[in-house]
Amino acid sequence: MESLHVVVMGVAGAGKTTVAAALAEKLGWTIAEADEFHPQANIDKMVSGVPLTDDDRWPWLRSIRDWMSSQSRAGHSTVLTCSALKRSYRRLLAEAEGRVIFAHLDGTPELLAERMSSRSGHFMPTGLLPSQLSTLEALTADEYAAGSLRLDIAESPESLVNAITASLHLPA
C-alpha cells in the first residue's frame, strides 16, 4: 500500500498539535511537528514578533517534504502538523513520495486568538495571527479532488479526527 501523509494545517491556534496527535495515535502512524524543522533563525524571528518571509520558509518546507519522503521509503504513513498557509507551500509538500493530503483546521479569528492566548510555552505570539490569516490561501478545487478537506475547529478534536479518518477510506 502506498504511504499516506496527512498534513494537519492551518494558522496558529487552530489545534493542529492536538488533532494530529490524536489522529496519529488512532492510526498508529508516525507523527512530526513542522515546528521541529525550523532553524533557530526562524524561531528567533517569530519569538521577536517578526513574520517569516518565503525565503525563510522554503528551506524549512523542503526539509519537511524530504522527511515525509524518507518515511515513505521506509514504508511509513505519517501525520504532520504544518501551517501550509500558501498553495505554493502545499505544492512543495505534495512533492513528497507517497500520497499527501491536507486537513485544514479553520475557525474564526476570535476563536483562534482566544486559543492562542490561553496556551503556554509556544513561541508564536498572538500578534502574528493577523499576518498568518492574511497569508492563508484556501484549499483549491484540485486539492479537494485529491482528498484534502476543510474542518471547523468549533467541533471537538474527536469529531475532527473521525472526519479525517473517514475521509481516508482506509481498508479495515
In this predicted structure, what is the pLDDT of residue 114? 81
Q: Is 3's pLDDT higher than 80?
A: yes
Q: Where are the domains of the chain?
A: 4-168
Q: What is the pLDDT of residues 117-137, one digit of tens each?
A: 665 554 455 666 777 888 899
Q: What pLDDT, on a 0 to 100 scale, did the predictor assign at position 35?
A: 87
Interval 9-22 mean pLDDT: 93
- Percentage of the residues of the chain whose pLDDT score is greater than 90: 69
What is the third-level CATH fold of 4-168? Rossmann fold (3.40.50)
171 confidence band (pLDDT: 50, 70, 90): confident
Tell me 94's DSSP state.
Answer: T
Mean pLDDT, rounded, of the chain: 90
Sheet containing strand 30-33, strands side by side: 30-33, 78-81, 4-9, 99-106, 149-152
In this predicted structure, what is the pLDDT of residue 127? Answer: 61
- In the chain, the N- to C-terminal Cα span, in Å, equals 13
Q: List the grid coordinates of 162.
A: 473521525
> What is the structure's pLDDT at 166?
95
